[in-house]
Chain A
Amino acid sequence: MKMIRLFHLMHKFEEYNEEGNVSGESTALDDVSVEIEKGSFVAVLGHNGSGKSTMAKHLNSLLLPDGGTVFIKEYDTRDEAHLWDIRQTAGMVFQNPDNQIIANVVEEDVAFGPENMGVPSQEIWKRVDESLKKVGMAAYRTKSPNQLSGGQKQRVAIAGVMAMKPEIIILDEPTAMLDPVGRMEVIRTIHELNRLEGITVILITHYMEEVVDADRVLVMDGGKLMMDGTPKEIFSRAQELKKYRLDVPQVTELAWELKQEGIELPDGILTIEEFADALCAYRDALK
């Protein structure tokens, strides 16, 4: 089943001159078509200004198409009658945890979404319980968000989205402000939600290592969808990625560098394990 369908999506931004009048238009999304399968983990890469955040905002009606159509399940995002269905289906998590947490106690923060949806209070507390458990934050239920680390705050923000029982979670650079362990916690959590709960995940990131376990990688440039494939396929095309101001994980680059020295390693090595296996195979073949 397709959870998300974009047909020839266009988005334009108006440009203003010094007097504040409209002076022109720029195209942020240019004829983007893509379909995303239920339960898949999709990473979106692209340099600053490539259009990936604009695309994300189309997935829960924060922005509406200037051309083309976006469907979330069967809902057209322009259909105001289904606005809340769409927002409940597709939850968003942003970069800065401090801008997303509003309550003074963790459980109240998580309860905020379902409360707004008019969920009965008995059911709300059940959802708060479940959501905090799912992100591994149940022990912090009565704590103040101020006492939490960045990674923990982001997990609370994710729990807040989970409490609305979404089918899709869109995360726009959720780890940009986190330290390494915080980053790992968040990435692990969203993989668990994807695997155990069947949540469709759209992860926008600038960290190539966070992408290696995705099912599918989309690469954007200049408002267009330029590449679409598995991490292995995408990271095998390192030169093309550089053109789009992107990069590959350190082990992938190292494998490429060694290849230039005549060490025959396969393309698209993504993890330490794969690298070690490949180098062992190379060693064992040495005569």
Chain B
Amino acid sequence: MAITFEHVTYIYEPDAPVVQKVLDDISLTIPGNQFVGIIGHTGSGKSTLIQHMNGLIKPTEGTVKFHGEDIWQKDYPLRQLRSRVGLVFQYPEHQLFEENVFKDVCFGPKNQGLTQEEIEQRAKNALSMVGLDESFYKRSPFELSGGQKRRVAIAGVLAMNPEYLILDEPTAGLDPVGRDEILDQVSRLQKESGITVILVSHSMEDVARYAQRLIVVDDGHIRFDDTPRNVFRHREELEKLGLSAPQVTYLAAALKKRGFAMTEDVTTIREAKDAILQALSAERENRSGNGIQKKEQVKTDD
């Protein structure tokens, strides 16, 4: 089970005098049951990349496979693919249109040829997955808050029972609590149902906290593809790519510079807390006895 890219190149307007490769020879495998983060500056190609995953864009060269089958071969059921690989666009609340929340979420499964009963069951499950209870069913999407609207839009995609859920900056413009609510719910959903979540984000803090794997896109290439911890070791390179590392990663580096015997491999608040507590207890031991010997140890660690 996987989405596979084999040497995928995408050229915007191949006949233009100056050929611009939006994606340049990308090979990539995204298996099931993963939480993947994708980061890259504006215009890096990450939106084009995710739109290849459910066949919204056809590669100029190379092959995109879903579960081993070329999605651009003749007679491949592309429509079905789009419900198995669900894509939630930026500002998805602009796409809500039904008169109430429940109907809006039913829209996707309705087009999958299910019975009315199945459709409603799907919608109920999807809404409960994003934390919206029955009191929301009959409300107009337009009277909801920004975060609630966005959850309705995500539920609309979940109701199609996708195996992959791609979210393009799902938290842009939301307040901090709204951001946490959505990402906590998506993360819980990922763990419970085993679907793969692909989160495109400009928040380094968010991908550090939720993703198991982090892909860095730049200029149509994949620059890094590793755990967040390993990717955020490359702070300076990331900055050159228009990105950064979480604030606590910079803090860990600053503390190390000021003589704390601690790791820089810190990407979340929890990790930072553990690292600092450890460094402080080392410090206490250090002071309460053979100080000189310990000091030398710290030096050699450097």
Contacts and interface: CB of A to CB of B under 8 A. Distances in A.
Contacts of B41: 149, 179, 181-182
B172 A257 contact: no
A10 to B, nearest CB: 21
Nearest to B277: A261
B255 to A, nearest CB: 6
Interface string A164-206: 0000000001001111111110000000000000000000001
Interface residues of A, number: 47
Contacts of B173: 48, 95, 173, 176-177, 206
A178 B202 contact: yes
B42 A179 contact: yes
A279 B175 contact: no
A242 B276 contact: no
Interface string B161-204: 00000000100111111110000000000000000000000101
Nearest to A52: B175
A177 B140 CA distance: 27
Contacts of B277: 258, 261, 263
A18 interface: yes
Interface stretch (B1-9, B79-87, B124-132, B244-252): B244-252
A181 B247 contact: no
B176 A254 contact: no
B231 to A, nearest CB: 14
A148 B34 CA distance: 34
Contacts of A178: 42, 202
Interface stretch (A72-80, A85-93, A243-251): A243-251
B280 to A, nearest CB: 7
Interface residues of B, number: 45
Interface string A14-25: 010010000000
Question: Which of B175, B202, B260: most chain A Cβ within 10 A?
Answer: B175
B220 interface: no
B99 interface: yes
Given A49-B146, A250-B205, A206 B287 contact: no
A208 interface: yes
Contacts of B205: 250
A254 B242 contact: no
A254 B202 CA distance: 22
B269 A254 contact: yes
Contacts of A253: 269
Contacts of A280: 258-259
Interface in B220-268: 239, 242-244, 246-248, 250-251, 254-255, 258-260
Given A263-B280, A286-B284, A179 B242 contact: yes
B43 interface: yes
Given A177-B169, A179-B202, 9 more contacts: A46-B175, A150-B42, A184-B244, A246-B175, A246-B176, A250-B251, A257-B273, A283-B283, A286-B280
Complex A-B, nearest 10 residue pairs according to Cβ-Cβ distance, in ascending order: A247-B176, A245-B177, A47-B175, A48-B146, A150-B42, A180-B244, A250-B247, A181-B242, A179-B41, A176-B173
10 contacts: A47-B175, A48-B146, A178-B202, A180-B242, A247-B176, A249-B247, A254-B251, A254-B269, A254-B276, A279-B258
